[in-house]
C-alpha cells in the first residue's frame, strides 16, 4: 500500500465530533435556505473558454439540471455544449492543480483539488484543498486541505478516546470524492490516507469520521472500543481507514468506500457497519471501493459500487474488478461486470451507464446483461473519432436527457442515448478570428506533437477547407521521401486527418522529423511532425 508522509503542515481541522456552537445557528439557517431553493436554469457570469473544454482527458463530470461541470479545470456548459465557460479560480486554472472531485447541490458547488507531487520523483497524489461556491459557481472561495494538527493524536468517539495517527501532510490525502448533503448541512470527503471526513461549515473545518478497523465490522460511539484510527502503513493500521468514495443517499444513509470495504451509516455518520467480500457472488466483488453512486427508483435508492483489484498475489478475494449492487440498504448484494475496471455510473430512468476502461457499458435490466460502446465517432464528421483503446472515465445524464461521457481522448455528448455522438476537444483553432499569444494564426497543426505511435495510437492533423471534396494527407521523411498517403473526403470547414505512424507498407516509421502536406484541390497546407518512441 501507499506510504504515509507525516511531514508537519500548518493546515488543521477540528477533531472528530466537535463543532463551534457559536456558528451553528447561522450555518443551519444557511443550509436550510439552500435546501429550500427550487432548481432553476443556471445563469453564469463567467468568461467563455477560448479553447472550449480545457483538457482532453475528462475524469470528472457533474450535472445539475442541464448544467454540466467538467474536469479537470472546472469548465461549465449551460447550453448543451454550444459554449463552455471557465470558472474563476487562480487555485486551479494556470496551476499544476487539477480537479479530483466535484458535487453540486442547489447553489453549492464543492470541488476537491489536488496535484501529482513529483518532488520525490514518484508522482504522489497530493491534496491541494477545496473550491467552494455558494452562488452556483459564479464565484469560488478556497479552503485548505482536510488535515490534522501534529498533536491531534486522539479522537473522542462517544464514550471512547481513541488513539489516532495525525495526518498532517497533503501527500497521499487528495480529495478523491466529495458529497454535499443539503438535508444535514454536511460536506463529506474521501481523502485516502486522511480517511473519511465531514464538514459542517462548507469546508472551513473538518472532523475525522471513525470507521471500523480491519478486524471489526461494526463500530458505535455507545460501545467500548480499543483500536487506533490510522491508515495502513507497512503492515500496521487499517485499510478500512483509507477513504476513496463517499455518498449520502436520498434516505440520509451515508456510504463510505475504502480500501477495506463498503461502510454504511444510518445515524448520520456515527455508527458504521462494514461490508466486505467473502468470495461469493452474494457479497462485494472486492474490498477496494473506488466509486459509489445512487440510482433513484420508486422503491428507493439502488446503490452501485465499483471495486478495483488491489494487486493481491493470485488475484485473491480482496482484489476483484467489478460492480456490486444493493437495492435494500446492504441487506443483500449482487454482482455485475466481473473483471471490468469501472470508474463511474449514471442513470437515465431504468437505464444504467457504467464508465470503464473498455468503453461505455449500458444495461436495460439493472445489470443482468450489458452492451458496450467503444467506437465513438462524431456524427457530423466520422473522421473525427475517439482514439481506439481510450478509457471512459466519467458519465452523466442531464435533466433534458443529454448523455455526457468523459474519456481520455475528449468529451462526448449524445442526444439519442448513445446512438450518435458529438465530440468536444480542446485544441488551437485554425485561422482564428482574433489571434493572440495563446491562439496563434495557423492554418494547420498536428497533435499530439511530438507523436508516439505506441502510446498515442495516431496523430491528428487539423486544417480548414473552404469546400466539400476529396483530400490527401502525404507524409515525407526528413529527406523528403514519400512515406505514406492518406485519402479521405473533406467538408467545408474544419477537418482532421489521422496518421498511425506507419508507412505505406504497414511498417512503423523510425524516430525523427517528418513533414506533411495536405492537398484538397483548392488548398494546400504544410507542417512538421516529430516522431518519438
How many domains does one find in the chain? 2
**Residue 438 placed within a domain:** no
Domain match, 373 and 450 both:
no
Say if residue 209 is in the same domain as residue 356. yes
* Polymer length in residues for the chain: 533
Do 363 and 464 reside in the same domain of the chain?
no
Q: Is residue 327 part of a domain?
A: yes
- Per-residue model confidence as pLDDT tens digits over 62-107: 999 999 999 998 999 999 999 999 888 777 766 788 999 999 999 9
- Which residue, 377, 403, 435, sits at the end of a domain? 377
Report the predicted TM-score, pTM, of the whole model to 2 decimal places.
Answer: 0.82
- Please check whether residue 390 lies inside any domain of the structure: no
Q: Which of these three, 331, 353, 377, is where a domain ends?
A: 377
More confident residue, 318 or 170: 170
> pLDDT tens, 3-56?
333 332 322 222 222 332 333 434 444 444 444 444 444 566 777 876 678 888
Query: What local confidence, expressed as pLDDT, does residue 114 receive?
Result: 94
Predicted confidence (pLDDT) at residue 145 exceeds the cutoff of 70: yes
Phi/psi for 300 (5° steps) reads 125, 175
Check whether residue 373 and residue 490 sit in a common domain. no
pLDDT at 260: 94
Q: CA 388 to CA 85: how far, in whole Å?
A: 29
Compare 302 and 25 and report the one with higher pLDDT. 302
- On whether both 179 and 322 belong to a single domain, the answer is yes
- Per DSSP (E only), the strands in 164-301 are 177-181, 186-190, 196-199, 207-208, 218-219, 243-248, 254-258, 261-265, 272-275, 288-295
**Pair (341, 471) in one structural domain:** no
> Do 349 and 214 have their domain in common?
yes
Give me the percent of the chain exceeding a pLDDT of 70: 86
**Residue 43, pLDDT score:** 62
> Of 377, 398, 430, at which residue does a domain stop?
377
Check whether residue 173 and residue 279 sit in a common domain.
yes
Measured CA to CA, the distance from residue 504 to residue 488 in angstroms comes to 15
Q: What percent of the chain has pLDDT over 90?
A: 65
Measured torsion, CA atoms of residues 86, 89, 90, 93, in degrees rounded to the nearest 10? -30
Beta-sheet strand order (sheet of 75-77):
61-64, 67-70, 75-77, 85-86
Distance of CA 252 to the CA centre of its chain: 24
Which H or E run includes 292? strand 288-295
Q: Cβ of 310: how many Cβ atoms within 10 Å? A: 17
**pLDDT band, very low/low/confident/very high, at 429 (cuts 50, 70, 90):** low
Within-domain flag for 405: no
Burial of 54 (0-12, 13-18, 19+ CB in 10 A): buried
Same-domain check for residues 367 and 453: no
pLDDT band (50, 70, 90) for residue 336: very high
- The set of cell numbers assigned to 444 is 494547420
Residue 474, domain extent: 446-531
**Is 467 found in the same domain as 341?**
no
If asked whether residues 500 and 355 sit together in one domain, one would say no
Asked whether residue 192 is assigned to any structural domain, the reply reads yes
- Do 502 and 360 share a structural domain? no
Q: Is there a domain that residue 409 lies in? A: no
Domain presence at residue 350: yes
When pLDDT is averaged across residues 345-374 and rounded to a whole number, the result is: 96
Span 196-210, average pLDDT: 97
Quick: pLDDT tens for 387-410. 888 999 999 999 999 999 999 989
- 227 inside domain: yes
Amino acid at each position: 500500500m501507499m506510504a504515509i508522509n507525516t511531514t508537519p503542515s500548518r493546515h488543521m481541522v477540528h477533531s472528530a465530533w466537535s463543532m463551534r456552537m457559536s456558528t451553528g445557528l447561522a450555518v443551519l439557517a444557511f443550509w436550510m435556505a439552500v435546501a429550500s431553493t427550487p432548481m432553476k436554469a443556471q445563469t453564469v457570469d463567467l468568461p467563455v473558454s477560448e479553447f472550449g473544454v480545457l483538457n482532453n482527458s475528462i475524469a470528472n463530470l457533474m450535472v445539475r439540471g442541464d448544467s454540466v461541470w467538467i474536469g479537470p479545470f472546472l469548465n461549465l456548459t449551460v447550453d448543451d455544449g454550444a459554449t463552455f465557460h471557465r470558472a474563476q479560480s487562480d487555485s486551479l486554472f494556470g496551476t499544476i492543480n487539477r480537479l479530483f472531485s466535484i458535487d453540486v447541490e442547489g447553489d453549492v458547488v464543492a470541488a476537491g483539488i489536488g496535484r501529482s507531487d513529483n518532488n520525490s520523483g514518484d508522482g504522489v497524489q497530493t491534496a491541494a484543498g477545496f473550491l467552494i461556491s455558494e452562488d452556483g459557481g459564479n464565484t469560488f472561495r478556497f479552503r485548505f486541505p482536510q488535515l490534522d494538527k501534529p498533536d491531534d493524536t486522539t479522537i473522542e468517539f462517544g464514550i471512547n478516546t481513541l488513539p489516532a495517527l495525525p495526518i498532517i501532510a497533503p501527500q497521499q490525502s487528495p480529495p478523491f470524492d466529495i458529497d454535499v448533503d443539503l438535508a444535514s448541512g454536511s460536506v463529506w470527503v474521501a481523502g485516502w490516507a486522511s480517511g473519511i471526513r465531514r464538514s459542517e461549515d462548507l469546508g472551513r473545518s473538518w472532523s475525522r469520521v471513525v470507521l471500523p478497523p480491519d478486524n471489526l465490522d461494526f463500530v458505535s460511539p455507545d460501545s467500548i472500543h480499543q483500536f487506533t484510527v490510522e491508515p495502513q502503513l507497512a503492515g500496521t493500521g487499517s485499510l478500512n481507514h483509507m477513504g476513496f468514495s463517499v455518498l449520502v443517499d436520498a434516505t440520509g444513509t451515508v456510504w463510505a468506500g475504502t480500501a477495506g470495504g463498503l461502510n454504511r451509516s444510518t445515524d448520520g455518520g456515527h455508527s458504521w457497519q462494514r461490508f466486505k467480500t467473502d468470495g461469493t457472488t452474494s457479497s462485494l466483488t472486492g474490498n477496494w471501493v473506488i466509486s459509489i453512486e445512487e440510482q433513484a427508483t420508486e422503491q428507493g435508492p439502488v446503490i452501485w459500487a465499483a471495486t478495483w483489484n488491489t494487486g493481491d498475489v493470485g488475484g485473491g478475494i480482496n482484489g476483484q474488478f467489478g460492480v456490486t449492487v444493493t437495492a435494500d440498504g446492504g441487506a443483500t448484494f449482487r454482482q455485475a461486470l466481473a473483471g471490468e475496471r469501472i470508474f463511474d455510473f449514471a442513470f437515465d430512468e431504468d437505464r444504467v451507464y457504467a464508465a470503464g476502461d473498455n468503453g461505455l457499458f449500458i444495461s436495460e435490466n439493472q445489470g443482468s446483461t450489458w452492451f458496450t460502446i467503444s467506437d465513438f465517432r462524431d456524427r457530423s464528421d466520422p473522421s473525427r473519432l475517439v482514439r481506439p483503446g481510450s478509457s471512459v472515465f466519467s458519465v452523466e445524464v442531464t435533466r433534458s436527457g443529454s448523455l455526457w461521457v468523459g474519456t481520455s481522448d475528449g468529451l462526448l455528448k449524445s442526444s439519442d442515448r448513445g446512438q450518435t455522438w458529438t465530440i468536444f476537444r480542446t485544441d488551437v483553432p485554425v485561422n482564428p478570428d482574433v489571434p493572440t499569444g495563446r491562439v496563434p494564426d495557423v492554418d494547420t497543426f498536428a497533435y499530439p506533437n511530438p507523436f508516439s505511435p505506441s502510446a498515442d495510437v495516431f496523430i491528428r492533423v487539423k486544417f480548414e477547407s473552404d469546400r466539400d471534396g476529396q483530400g490527401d494527407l502525404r507524409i515525407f521523411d526528413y529527406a523528403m521521401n514519400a512515406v505514406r498517403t492518406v485519402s479521405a473526403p473533406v467538408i467545408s470547414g474544419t477537418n482532421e486527418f489521422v496518421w498511425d505512424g506507419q508507412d505505406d507498407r504497414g511498417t512503423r516509421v523510425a524516430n525523427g522529423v517528418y513533414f506533411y502536406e495536405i492537398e484538397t484541390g483548392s488548398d494546400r497546407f504544410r507542417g512538421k511532425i516529430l516522431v518519438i518512441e
